[in-house]
Structure 1
Amino acid sequence: MRYSKIVASASLTVLLLAGCNINPMPISPDERLSSMWQDQTEMYAKQEPITRPLTFYDALARALKYNFDHRLALMEAVLQDTQLEVATVNMLPKLTANAGYSFREQKLGSSSADFYTGQQTLRSSTSQDASHGLADLTFTWNILDFGVSYFQAKQQADRILIAQERRRKVVNNLIKDVLQAYWGASIAERLLPGLEPVLKEAEHALEVSRTIEGDRLQPIIAVLEYQRSLLRIIDQLKKLRADLLVAKPKLAGLINAPLHTSFTLAKPEKTPEPPELNTNVADLENLSLFYRSDLREEIYQERISRADVYKEMLKVLPGLTIPIGLNFDSNHFLVNNFWLEAGVRTSVNLVNLIAAPKIWKSAETQVEVAKIRRKALSVAAVVQVNVGYQQYIKALDSYKNAKELSKIDAGIYTATANQAASDAGSDLERIHAATAALASQLEKEQNLADVYGALGNIYASIGLDPVTGGIEHITVRALAVHLEKTLDSWYKGYLPKLPSPPKPTTAAFVN
């Protein structure tokens, strides 16, 4: 009987272990297809439709509201906030409730024997029911665990601030990327309509030249040189068209608009002149060292590393545990089935005492690493601001030169187009002039985009955030108005000011 029970128990154990054997299960094609369709449906859901031509500020507002990189940064900040709540709960004492039921096939019986002779002194007896219920409610507070949990909660609070700084960095990069993509798309919308006729005219002239070559109507060397010039022009125009055509999809990706939607950009009455930044480099450097998200993140990281030092110090101290419990046992042999139990326990991990110096040294080294990393990032921030400022000056100067060159090439094209000529040479000169005028206009527009791109690099290097507070419940248009007001003031040189330094305190000395 007992042997059969042992065999049954062993068989049940083997079956349970076999059921715990888990093999990799790749996602099925149907599951992947369902996930793909769901993602495509939700990627562009809950967005305001584009009902008007987009200004730059409209595009930037849509990027801040709907770009998934920014959404991810916001959700990571929310995640860190929820983990702070968990860390705060971990500081509370432990309150556990247990309940169970115990059953024996035979009653628990025992007898006593004389310690010296080994002779049984009492008949076998029992003081416990074969089956009885158990329950307890225990309140436990460990002072050492509370201290460790306190510093863990402070570290989690700093991680929330780090997540906010990373979100601000995403915003800075979005401003820079949208600046470049928007002006690239704006150039494409303005230049593509003028590029296509010139390209078609060049391709038509190439076909005519090949006919002339086949009929031997002109010297073969002159015809081939003419074709070579046309092919170079056509290649230049096609490359230009290809560069312009990719600008709008880039912008659509940044503002999370479906790539196949036909949105248009607002066309200004005239090309805006680039802003001239009325701020010196020294002020930009100070702003960068104060506002830059990377540097603030390292300050919080240093505080987290410092808290690690305090945690390791606490772990060396004796742990004091205070348990208080209410117990119940249904055993009818007991005089009191309910009783309250309390006590105090202390423990010391002796291994921690031996390893403490090395652990403390490692934690202190982490603090020093955070300080050195912050200083290295400070140097990089200053260099990036200076490089960005020089790029801005260069782009501004290049724009002014390209503007003059564009006027000259436009005048040459007008004069060439007004000349009535019928030979192939005149056609080639006119196509050359049209291509040069387009290239000059494109260079001017690209230099204008480079000016705004350089400004975006400067703002990203500084770490300025044009949006404070939540934007979930703000309309795109309201956010665009706020962004326009803020960025226009930045363009004019009205950047935020640093806080005033604290007044030095005078110490009184008493003789």
Structure 2
Amino acid sequence: MKKNRIKIGLASVLLSAMLLSGCTSQYRVDLVKQRRDNLAEELKLIQVRETMSFPDPLTLDDVIKIGTQNNLEMRISRIMADIEKDNALAEKLNMLPQLSLSGNLGYRNSYNISKYQDVNTGQEYLGSSTNQEKATKLMNIDLSWNILDFGLSYLRARQSAMGTEIKRMERIRQSQKLAVDLSAAYWRAVLTAKDLERVKAIEAEATEYKTRAEALVAQKRLDPFIAKGIEKQVSDLSITSNNLQAEITAVKIELAKLMGLSPVTRFDLSGESSAEAYLENMPDSSKVDPRKLEIVSLNHRPELFSADLEEKVRHDEARSVLMSMFPGIRLSASQNFDYNSFLLNTTWSSMGISVAENILALPSKYMSWKAKDKTVSMVKAQRLMLTAGIIAQVHMAFHDYRTKEKQFRLYHNAWMISEDLLNMSRERNKLGTVTDVQITQRMMETVVSKLQRDRSLTDVMNSYNMLLVTLGLNFEQWSEKLAQMNENAMPEDIQTRDIAPEAKPLGGNK
């Protein structure tokens, strides 16, 4: 017995020493090692994205598809979607009743025997209670179900499911906005590349005039002042060419970022995608009814579907508080095991029902219910404000498109005039009525006019795409004729639509 006490004492001292040492020791993080490890892992992922497989050259459809699948913000949205699904499932599982299993194994050095004292005589007697062994072995299996908790869990599960749908609407809207950014970068890169080809061709032609002028100056048949004027025009064309090349590089880096690729990833954009063909599909703003666009947007915008779901969530929150005011009813059943040899029955079952209610908490719950009920009215007012805001956005986007469309037609007309003047100057230059300086000036004017026209073309296409996204249309719907669209039609795939899954790295470009 004494040895056992010594062992127990030593074990207690050792355990106390370990606890004290754990409390006094300070946890330190190796920041340098942690940063290096994380950086190595992230660089490995970036290198994989440098060698992803995608079509070459890329069309606008390819760019949108790759961007939707690989954009890092969209990747985070997918992870959040998985989290929301897991949370919704967890709330559903909370509706199950409680099932607990407990066991107890103990030992005492003496029997658990009780005695009682006669209050009249003061004499003590051994009690008639059940004896208990020194070693105790108990096991219980309890099943309980709280009806009130079940109802609250059902409402929370429904709220979580609607929260998942709200997140899905947010992802759809996110993909629509990403499509606008990808399209803007794509068309800017394509048109700038075409402008660069045009400038280089004119620069080569102007260089011929410069070479001819230098030869005439050497023969003393031309004033050097005129030759310098031609050289200045060629220099300006070279500067313009260099600026366009730098702009293409910057736009492709931005496009790679939006597509979720590394900035050093090499890819080419398809020149077959004609901006003029895209322009022909755009409607004449004078033939579009803005009131029709209002209805289209109010039937398609994902935010409005989210607002409808948010109202249901607020309703369920108010119902939850109202339900919590009712008393809790708990049904229970258990199976018990007590391996005590002194007992006649070592196993027994029990069932019961209990009712509990905190009466003093009712006033607080009532006021909380009134507050939650008022949030429903607040959400309705917010949805009305959102509806009014969307209508205003539609009119602003349509006004911007109409303005950009008129500007483009003016810039396009100015460019056509410049092209005609340049062609006339070439013919007259052959006849000797227009000098080389004048024709190089015409070339520079044509280049400037073409750049202004293409900038305006990019602006009007981006403005039209922004109008489509303001209407809540997905990229697949951009090719539809806006004037022929049924404004009262709801999105057919609104119940199931979601962003595309992330693309898997497959190796080098094909």
TM-score (norm 2): 0.79
Within the alignment, does 1:50 sit opposite 2:55 as a pair? yes
**Contiguous gaps of at least 5 residues in structure 2:** 218-222, 491-510
Distance 1:219 1:194 in 2: 28
Q: Map of 1:185-264 to 2, 5 A cutoff?
A: 185-196=189-200, 239-259=243-263, 260-264=265-269
CA distance in 1, matches of 2:141, 2:11: 36
1:183 Cα shift? 0.7
- 1:336 corresponds in structure 2 to 345
RMSD over aligned CA atoms reads 3.7
Equivalent in the alignment of 1:283: 292
| Partner of residue 70, structure 1 | 74
Kindly tell me the number of residue pairs found equivalent between the two proteins.
466
Change (3 A) 1:402 1:431: same
Other-structure match for 2:502: none
CA–CA separation in structure 2 for the residues paired with 1:254 and 1:495: 32
1-side partners of 2:427 and 2:22: how far apart?
88
Say if 2:147 and 2:329, in contact at 8 Å, map to a contact too. yes
AA aligned opposite 2:330 = T
Cα contact 2:112–2:134 (8 A) shared by 1: yes
Question: After superposition, where does 1:399-418 map in structure 2 within 5 Å?
Answer: 399-416=408-425
Question: Is the 8 Å Cα contact of residues 109 and 134 (structure 2) preserved in structure 1?
Answer: yes
* Aligned residue number for residue 89 of structure 1: 93
For the 8 Å contact 2:59–2:269, the answer to whether it is kept is: no
Q: Is the Cα–Cα contact under 8 Å of residues 293 and 487 in structure 2 kept in the other structure?
A: no
Match of 1:359 among 350, 353, 368: 368
Equivalent position of 2:19 in the other structure? 16
CA gap 1:306/1:104 in 2 versus in 1, 3 angstroms: same
- More displaced stretch, 374-383 vs 124-133: 124-133
User: C-alpha separation between the residues in 1 aligned to 2:270 and 2:336?
Assistant: 74
- Residue aligning to 2:471: 462
Q: 1:459 to 1:115 in 2, by over 3 A?
A: farther
**Match among 317, 322, 327 for residue 313 of structure 1:** 322
Cα distance between partner residues in 2 of 1:171 and 1:226: 50
Is residue 371 from structure 1 mapped to residue 371 from structure 2 by the alignment? no
**Gap change, CA 1:294 and 1:449, over 3 Å in 2:** same
Between 1 and 2, higher relative CO (CA 8 Å, sep ≥ 6) is seen in: 2
Q: Secondary structure at the match of 1:264?
A: coil
1:391-470 pair list within 5 angstroms: 391-416=400-425, 430-466=439-475
The aligned counterpart of 1:100 is 104
Question: Retained in 1: the 8 A contact 2:189–2:252?
Answer: yes
Question: Would you say the 8 A contact 1:107–1:126 is kept in 2?
Answer: no
1:487 aligns with 2:487: no
> Percent identity among equivalent residues?
21
Q: After superposition, give the CA deviation of every residue in 1:290-341 in whole Å (9 maximum; x if it has no partner).
A: 2211122122112111111111111121111111111112222222121112
Matched, 1:179 2:213: no
Q: Distance in 2 between matches of 1:355 and 1:125?
A: 47
- Determine helix, strand or coil for the equivalent of 1:286: helix
CA contact (8 A) 2:169 2:305 kept: yes
Match of 2:172 in 1: 168
Pair 1:177–1:223, CA change in 2 (3 A):
same
2:334 partner amino acid: G
Structure-2 separation of matches of 1:120 and 1:392: 103
Give 1:497's aligned amino acid: N
Q: Aligned partner of 1:132: which letter?
A: T
TM-score using structure 1 length = 0.79
Aligned partner (choices 307, 327, 339) of residue 298 of structure 1: 307
Aligned counterpart for 1:141 among listed residues 142, 145, 152: 145
Q: Output the CA distance in 2 between the equivalents of 1:22 and 1:372.
A: 53
1:109 aligns with 113
CA distance 1:336–1:269, shift in 2 (3 Å): closer
Which residue, 140, 151, 157 being the options, matches 1:153?
157
> Does structure 2 retain, via aligned residues, the 8 Å contact 1:172–1:459?
no
Relative distance call for 1:431 and 1:257 in structure 2 (3 A) is: farther
Write the deviation string for residues 351-401 of structure 1: whole angstroms up to 9, x where unpaired. Answer: 421312321232123222212221221111111100111111112212211
Deviations 1:213-271 (A, max 9, x none): xxxxx999x99999999988776665554434322222223333443313232324783
How far off is 1:168 after superposition? Answer: 1.1
